[in-house]
Structure 1
Amino acid sequence: MNILIVEDEALLALELESELESVGHQVVGQAMTSHEARMKIDAQRPDFAFVDVHLLDGVTGLEVGRYLSARGIPFVFVTGNVRRLPVDFAGAVGAIEKPYTMNGLENAVRFVEALMRGEVQRWDAPPSLILAGEDEGRMAG
């Protein structure tokens, strides 16, 4: 699967890229700002994206998420505060809370791939992945 990483912490992005490539995925780009992310989305047309909420240009990950959603590209937020996401998760499949484990991220990617192929149901989600709509008590972002 071709994956875009939208993360402003360079070491986290590199670690994630390395881990994803070690299990057979191709990282088609990394972006640290919302502008850079939109450019890479249009140029690379990834199959999937990991998106941090807080980027170098502020709390713009939600905008990136909506941009991905409008183009039919599934994504997962990776954030330190899931409760700050809007109830609709800005169109995300779900979210992974920082700090995370590489195993948790890999499980989330495998689940999303299977979900896209229609091989699993939402209730089959791994514990590392919080699906949109699971926690109605979240604060609006």
Structure 2
Amino acid sequence: MKVMIVEDEMLLAMELESEVEMAGHEVVGTTMNREQASGLVKGHRPDFAFVDIHLQDGPTGIDVGRDLAAKDIPYVFVSGNIKKIPPDFAGALGAIEKPYTTNGMKNALAYISAILVGEEDIAPPASLVLAEDVQPRVYSRQL
């Protein structure tokens, strides 16, 4: 799975990149603001994205999320304050609250990977808060 990371805290971005790669996925890039995220999507078309809410250019992560949803790219928010996520989750699959544990992120990534390849009978991990109206088949695709 090709993964994009949208995170303005460099150490957190590097840690998440390492987690994604250890799980056997490819990180196509890490961006720190909405403009960079838009460019990366155009150049690399990720299969999935992790998106922080508050970025280098302000609280634009929700806008990044809406941009991704408009392009049918599934994503989750990774944020220290998931209460800032709008009720519709801006089209996100769900959210992971910071600080997260290595094991929590690993379990969330395994669940997300399974959903994206069409598995339906899998329980979400405690580390992942799901949007209420998520329909796994909407995200099902061949990776």
Both proteins in one fold, TM over 0.5: yes
Q: Could you say which residue in structure 2 is the equivalent of 1:13? A: 13
Q: Could you say which residue in structure 2 is the equivalent of 1:129? A: 128
Q: How many residue pairs align between the two structures?
A: 133
The TM-score, its normalising length taken from structure 1, stands at: 0.90
Q: Could you say which residue in structure 1 is the equivalent of 2:24? A: 24
Q: Could you say which residue in structure 2 is the equivalent of 1:97? A: 97
| Cα offset, 1:120, TM superposition | 2.4
Q: Could you say which residue in structure 2 is the equivalent of 1:137? A: none
Q: Distance in 2 between matches of 1:71 and 1:80?
A: 26
Percent identity for Structure 1 against Structure 2? 56
Q: Could you say which residue in structure 1 is the equivalent of 2:62? A: 62
Letter in 1 for 2:5: I
Contact 1:2 1:46 in 2 (8 A): yes
| Cα offset, 1:133, TM superposition | 2.5
Q: Could you say which residue in structure 1 is the equivalent of 2:118? A: 118
- State the 4+ residue runs in structure 1 displaced beyond 3 angstroms: none
Deviations 1:68-96 (A, max 9, x none): 10111110100011111101110000000
RMSD between aligned residues = 1.3
Letter in 2 for 1:11: L
| Cα offset, 1:11, TM superposition | 0.6
Q: Distance in 2 between matches of 1:106 and 1:76?
A: 14
Unaligned stretches of 5+ residues in structure 2: 134-143
Q: Distance in 2 between matches of 1:57 and 1:38?
A: 13
Q: Could you say which residue in structure 2 is the equivalent of 1:35? A: 35
Q: Distance in 2 between matches of 1:38 and 1:16?
A: 20
Q: Distance in 2 between matches of 1:35 and 1:114?
A: 30
Letter in 2 for 1:59: P
Q: Distance in 1 between matches of 2:103 and 2:6?
A: 19
The TM-score, its normalising length taken from structure 2, stands at: 0.88
Q: Distance in 1 between matches of 2:102 and 2:71?
A: 27
| Cα offset, 1:117, TM superposition | 2.3
